[in-house]
A and B are shown apart, each in its own frame.
Chain A
């Protein structure tokens, strides 16, 4: 399988970035939801640091993905899609990228504002800025929570659209992103 994208198919690097991000996010959102309810103890600190560590990895993957899009542009939308559908798909994708960049950054600043260090995989404390401020931390926490739901909603629409393309439109949109699959030319 080729590494780069071509006009019809995604290459290995794009697929890896897409599916690794997808798996991490699908584990990340429930983890974030569940750990909020834990009583403050060593377990909660451990899971929060896991959540923060995975969030930083997701941020890195999204940044790499955007950079890779510039190096190796993704295949274009099929001509069977209307301009409205193409614009909607483009808006959805850019919204997801934007949200996935802002969400971890908000989380990192929230850690700083609430005075909780980020301990990468519970083993290495990352440098922190001393900006402890309860009201700012509360605002960031609410923003992180709302944006988390926003990302979940975008993912539902994203998956729904992929299934619609596959089962209703019967085009190659889903196939060309599946691991180890290629579209038939």
Chain B
């Protein structure tokens, strides 16, 4: 009798444990550690009508996201603006200069979102804010994301007006050579922490 009671008690503990742990997991979106080799944050700008791609080699991403736990999901990406790489030293120097990112005064561009919307399937929109050159504006970032038990894959892009953030002053207000609209792109892969 005593043994049966112990077995039943253990089974009940196990069931409650599973339920409890399961709820705990379901309630908090997992935190992801990005795979730096497979992840990239960059942009595509228009120069004289042609696409010019660039990446930021240094950024810090705090990603807590799960498709079933959007209410507790949170993304904050801090980009080190001086780490820009467009495969041209001249151009990178210009982008870091006071006319563009002013990387000395504003070393980071920050995107942060806590409000997520599932459009359909693996299509989401992060409603957040983007801060560049000290200017903060609301930004909707559409992205695709797939999550399994241990892996996250996400990618997306959105378009911004560089002039709204004061990026490109003086002669660079002219958008004939460097277009006003810039596409911000990202593709990340992460492992659950």
B-facing residues in A126-162 (Cβ within 8 Å): 128, 130, 132-134, 137
Interface size on B, residues (CB 8 A): 20
**Candidates B48, B50, B87, B90; contact of A40 at CB < 8 Å:** B90
**Size band of the interface chain A makes with B:** 10 to 19
A-facing residues in B85-99 (Cβ within 8 Å): 85-91, 93-94
Whether A41 lies near B171 (C-beta < 8 A) is yes
B58-101 near A? 1/0 per residue, CB < 8 Å: 00000000000000000000000000011111110110000000
Q: Assuming A132-B53, A133-B87, is B171 touching A42 (CB within 8 A)?
A: yes
Whether B48 lies near A119 (C-beta < 8 A) is yes
A41 to B53: give the CA distance in the assembly, Å.
Answer: 19
Dominant secondary structure at the A interface: loop
A134 to B174: give the CA distance in the assembly, Å.
Answer: 27
Cβ contacts under 8 Å, B172 to chain A: 42
Chain A residue nearest to B49 (CB atoms) is A125
Cβ contacts under 8 Å, B119 to chain A: none
In this assembly, does B169 line the interface, its C-beta being within 8 Å of a C-beta of chain A? no
**Candidates A42, A114, A128, A134; contact of B177 at CB < 8 Å:** A42
A105 to B76: give the CA distance in the assembly, Å.
Answer: 45
In this assembly, does A115 line the interface, its C-beta being within 8 Å of a C-beta of chain B? yes
In this assembly, does A58 line the interface, its C-beta being within 8 Å of a C-beta of chain B? no
Which 10 pairs of residues, A with B, have the shortest CB-CB distance?
A: A117-B50, A132-B87, A125-B49, A119-B48, A114-B88, A134-B87, A40-B94, A40-B90, A117-B48, A115-B52
